[in-house]
Amino acid sequence: MDALFTLNNIRYDYANTAQPALHDVSMTIMRGQRVAIMGANGSGKSTLLRILDGLYFPKSGTITAFGEPLDEHHLMDDTYAHAFRKRVAFVFQNPDVQLFNPTVYDEVAFGPLQMRWDKEKIARSVAETLDMLEISHLRDRAPHRLSGGEKKRVAIASVLILDPEVILLDEPTAALDPKSQSMVVDFLVGWANSGKTIVTATHDLDTVPDIADDAYIFQQGTIVAHDTPANLLQNHELLLAANLIHAHHHHHDGVPHTHPHFHLGHEHDHSGEI
Amino acid sequence: MHIPDGYLSPTTCVALYAAATPFWYVAGTRIKKTLSMRMVPLLSVFAAFSFIIMMFNLPLPGGTTGHATGAALAAIVLGPWAAVISVSIALVIQAVFFGDGGILAIGANSFTMAIVGVFVAHYTYRIIAGKTAVSASRRVVAAAFAGYLSINAAAFVTAVLFGIQPLFFTDSNGAPLYAPYTLDIAIPAMMIGHLGIAGFAELIVTAGVVGYLQKNDISLLSMSDVGTPIVAGTLQSGLRSARTLWLIIAGLLVLTPLGLIAAGTAWGEWGATELVAQDGGKTLTNAPTGLLQYANVWKAPVPDYAVSFVSSEQLGYILSGVMGVGLIIITMLLVTYIGARISRRNEHTNP
Amino acid sequence: MGGEAHHGKRRGNFIQRTIDSLAETLERSLYAEQFAEERGILQRLDPRVKLVAVLGFIICSAASRNLPVVGAIALVAVVLALLSRIPFTSLTPVWIGMFVFSGLIAGPAIFLTPGPSLATLPWLGWHVSSYGLRSAALLILRSEVSITFSVLLVMTTPWIHVMKSMRVVGVPTTVVVILGMTYRYIFLMLQSASDMFEARQSRVIGKLSDSDARRLASATVGVLLSKSFQLSNDVYLAMQSRGFRGEVYTLDEFRLGQNDYIAIPLIFTIFVSGIWFGLV
């Protein structure tokens, strides 16, 4: 196993807030690893994914991807940028952000068009990818005529067509019905079996054991724990402190009683939606 | 209003495409330079936004409703160049997919609303807002004026376009082929509705939203002020090319009537003066007196329109046409000039 | 029509009216797409051919100085609608709407335009001028012809194809791409605006006063504006993530078929004769 991403003391600030969005973040992501980034809203996990995808650049600290520094300067170069964009895919939390084309077909063809593939190859790959995600029938649909689960599948198809090595997912199961959630999880499990790297930012703890074998907990922009998913999910005190679960107060035979409580996939983040 | 097809002659439509093209071109290159890769998503989202605003029906004082074009708001928030493109794109979508405004008239509608409307709003806002803080209540007033004047300027240009049609485009009997009313009717008819009603819809939306943003998302209002990339042409940077453009446009406007007269004769159409000669004004006298009086009422707000409705002085029509056009040019140049003075002063005071 | 005013009967019910008009826009687009899948004559043509034909016919009717020629082009539109299986029920509202609008504008011209008198109105003593009548008829007919052709185009062609085919008439690729994204985000924002109004309506008891309605509209537009910025930033990131470098590329899989080769000379003939007879 070799390291795909190495982050060293990353810090990132947004222009209009005093608190850094990320600080003192160091981590290594290995090839073929499945990583979960757990944290409540505003813990910095989305920012981290954007840094991994070369969309934001840290204010301090260093990041290397595939053995080369990942910075604004390198990404100015078309060849480097195309190679990097092909290898790393990002599925945004809000499918309305991800799906910016007028039809499903155009959406899935967008990546290859930017990479200047020839037309026949694009046509063939789009057909195969739509088929793989079982959305061929949606080919000419406009995105506003898709259900939440369909949108998510199209979003995944639109990045998988480039056959990336790493896929970054921001809350992939948020705002989905249970059936679509399990579809997404099944798909990720199957895809990872082919030796791909997956980084998932989530606060949906139920899915973590299925989609990750390494997990981080983020709180207020920094890593507070790093362990296997199984170990982290047993540490209720930690999960409680990180706002990933909340204490449930109730009475047993008149005795006040408190225990931590998991939220089963209905905690949806609408912050990114319009 | 969105001009439908059939109201303007094809020549006028082509002339207005020609007039709008340099603006689109300059806007395109400027935005490309300042926004670079952000241009496509930003303009798309804002064109969609402009489209949506045009659908909001507002209750107005006095028992009517009306809706805004959003051109003034776009000019204030995005800066004039990005606004020109966003509003034009919204107009294209309205014309092609919603039948709102003609397809041949896209150039004309873009010229009046997305170019005249946007620049009038931009300069009005800048001049009135002056150096006040972004949160100053004077900016709400500035926005109100920008909205009101912007839509009225657009309506005025539209009225002039309508009004010059019967001067140049008539059949062999002298009956109008396109919009049938001359300037002395078209201008009051358009302006009464816009000065009285539609102007207030634009005023309310523009001032209301600027007021809302001051309280809730002030960064959007300073975007086109501080010189962040979204500006795409504040006064300082946009002025030189803007002035050149106005001069081109002024030239075009002056030449258009002349060109049209030439074209008219070339097509075997009776030139306006020939009409007078051949007709002796005989057929021009049977308009009903009742309506004539009505026409006079309409004329009241524009007393300087010395050309009376059926005076048969066809030359007078041309003069009034040129006058209307000249008025626009003078206003635009004046506004540009004042804008330049103010921006120069601003440059000196806060370097 | 931007900026026109109506005397609202449902005054005070501002929210409902806005939701209705937003919903109508959404429905209209879905409705339009249904006919794009019918097997009519226009549906079989390449979108580029259709776009150029529609433009050509509109130019014909605009350039014609001759009322019968404009009438003949109107007839072409009606025949095309029939052959494309567009039900008249979906065209009549468009026709009536345009007739009312243009009629109101053109009406006074019947009396105001100088010309030989055909008849005199009782009581008022106004003369119906034959030239005025012709001018009014031309204005109304031309605006009807133009809107009918543009409606035929969008009803028989998926929207995205209309946009992509605009490249043949010189619209730059960047603009075509922006149009496509605009179209896509119009629906997102319609949904968003409609949700905002509905949420608000569920909290409103009784009628909303006019000033509250105006405040609500301003606030809604303001919220939409803020969200638009957020959205455009995020979309930009999403585009970059998939390799966007500022240059836009589109796929157009249009290919002229046998039908097109038959249609092109026909359209050309109609266009040339329309222009020829129209100028006589």
For residue B2, being part of any structural domain is answered with no
What b/e sequence results for A213-237 when a residue is b if at least 16 CB atoms lie within 10 Å of its CB, and e otherwise?
A: ebbbbbbbbbbebeeebeebbeeee
Nearest Cα residue to A229 out of A216, A239, A240, A218: A216
For residue B181, being part of any structural domain is answered with yes
Specify the amino acid at residue B301: P
CB contact under 8 A, A100 and B219: no
- pLDDT by residue (tens digit) across C24-42? 777 776 666 677 777 888 8
Burial of B240 (0-12, 13-18, 19+ CB in 10 A): exposed
Provide the H-helix boundaries in A115-177.
Answer: 119-132, 148-160
Query: What local confidence, expressed as pLDDT, does residue A259 receive?
Result: 52
State the pLDDT confidence band at B315, using cuts at 50, 70 and 90: very low
CB contact under 8 A, B216 and C226: yes
Residues of chain A with C-beta less than 8 angstroms from the C-beta of C230: 274
Q: Is the dihedral of CA B102, B106, B111, B115 positive or negative?
A: positive
Q: Does A14 touch chain B (CB under 8 A)?
A: no
Average pLDDT on A217-224 reads: 89
For residue B4, being part of any structural domain is answered with no
How confident is the prediction for chain A on average, in pLDDT?
84
Average pLDDT on A12-38 reads: 87
CA A75 to chain B, closest CA, distance in angstroms equals 13
For residue B304, being part of any structural domain is answered with yes
CB contact under 8 A, A102 and C181: yes
B129: domain CATH number is: 1.10.1760.20
Query: What local confidence, expressed as pLDDT, does residue B306 receive?
Result: 31
Question: Could you give the CA distance from residue B76 to residue B328 in angstroms, rounded to a whole number?
Answer: 22
Q: Which residue of A has its CA nearest to B44?
A: A100
CA angle B340, B345, B348 (to 5 degrees): 130
Task: Give all chains having 3 or more CB-to-CB distances under 8 Å with chain A.
Answer: B, C
Q: Which residue of A has its CA nearest to B42?
A: A100
Query: What local confidence, expressed as pLDDT, does residue A249 receive?
Result: 56
Task: Give all chains having 3 or more CB-to-CB distances under 8 Å with chain B.
Answer: A, C
Provide the strand spans (E) within B37-113.
58-60, 64-66
State the pLDDT confidence band at B114, using cuts at 50, 70 and 90: very high
Query: What local confidence, expressed as pLDDT, does residue B236 receive?
Result: 38
Whole-number percent of chain B with pLDDT over 70: 61
| Domain that includes residue B263, residue range | 10-349
Q: For residues B111 and B157, is the Cβ–Cβ distance under 8 A? A: yes
Question: Could you give the CA distance from residue B333 to residue B310 in angstroms, rounded to a whole number?
Answer: 33
- pLDDT by residue (tens digit) across C237-264? 999 899 888 777 877 778 888 888 888 8
State the pLDDT confidence band at C93, using cuts at 50, 70 and 90: confident
CA distances from C23 to A81, B94, B211, C133 (A): 42, 16, 28, 39
Residues of chain A with C-beta less than 8 angstroms from the C-beta of B41: 100
CA A89 to chain B, closest CA, distance in angstroms equals 19
Number of domains into which chain B is organized:
1
- pLDDT by residue (tens digit) across A96-148? 888 988 889 999 999 999 888 888 899 999 999 999 888 999 988 888 888 88
Query: What SS3 class is residue A271?
Result: coil
State the pLDDT confidence band at B117, using cuts at 50, 70 and 90: very high
Residues of chain B with C-beta less than 8 angstroms from the C-beta of A92: none
Question: Could you give the CA distance from residue B291 to residue A138 in angstroms, rounded to a whole number?
Answer: 60
Query: What local confidence, expressed as pLDDT, does residue B336 receive?
Result: 54
Strands A60-65 and A34-39: unpaired
CA C200 to chain B, closest CA, distance in angstroms equals 15
CB contact under 8 A, C234 and A94: yes
For residue B30, being part of any structural domain is answered with yes
> B175 φ, ψ to 5°?
-80, 140
- pLDDT by residue (tens digit) across C173-212? 888 888 988 988 888 888 888 888 778 777 766 677 777 7
CA distances from A206 to A38, A89, A197 (A): 11, 24, 20
Compare CB distances from C242 to A96, A144, A158 and report the shortest one's residue: A158
Helix (H) or strand (E) holding B332: helix B314-349
Total H helices, total E strands in chain A: 11, 12
How confident is the prediction for chain B on average, in pLDDT?
70
Residue C20 has pLDDT above 90, yes or no: no
Between A and B, how many residue pairs show a Cβ–Cβ distance under 8 A? Answer: 3
Identify the residue among A14, A57, A100 best suited for mutation to test binding to C, counting C beta carbons within 10 A and taking the highest: A100
CA angle B242, B246, B248 (to 5 degrees): 115
Query: What local confidence, expressed as pLDDT, does residue A274 receive?
Result: 44
In sequence order, what are the beta bridge partners of A37? Answer: A201, A216
For residue B119, being part of any structural domain is answered with yes
Question: Could you give the CA distance from residue A11 to residue B274 in angstroms, rounded to a whole number?
Answer: 79
- pLDDT by residue (tens digit) across B191-219? 888 887 788 888 888 998 898 888 888 87
Q: For residues B114 and B88, is the Cβ–Cβ distance under 8 A? A: yes
CB contact under 8 A, A16 and B41: no
Q: Which residues of B touch A (CB under 8 A)?
A: 41, 44, 219
Average pLDDT on A72-96 reads: 89
CB contact under 8 A, B102 and C214: no
Q: Does C221 touch chain B (CB under 8 A)?
A: yes
> B277 φ, ψ to 5°?
-60, -45
For residue B224, being part of any structural domain is answered with yes
Instruction: Give the position of tokens 């809203």.
Output: A41
Nearest Cα residue to C259 out of C160, C171, C156: C156
Q: Does C228 touch chain B (CB under 8 A)?
A: yes
Q: Which residue of B has its CA nearest to C109?
A: B180
Nearest Cα residue to C177 out of C189, C167, C190: C167
Query: What local confidence, expressed as pLDDT, does residue B110 receive?
Result: 94
- Residue B168 is encoded by which pair of tokens? 């140049």
Whole-number percent of chain C with pLDDT over 90: 13
Residues of chain B with C-beta less than 8 angstroms from the C-beta of C135: 175-177, 180
Q: Does A100 touch chain B (CB under 8 A)?
A: yes
For residue B1, being part of any structural domain is answered with no
Question: Could you give the CA distance from residue B137 to residue B91 in angstroms, rounded to a whole number?
Answer: 31
CB contact under 8 A, B41 and A100: yes
> A255 φ, ψ to 5°?
-100, 120
Query: What local confidence, expressed as pLDDT, does residue A133 receive?
Result: 86
Q: Which of A213-222, B142-151, C111-120, C225-234 is least confident?
A: C111-120
Compare CB distances from A109 to C230, C238, C251 and report the shortest one's residue: C251
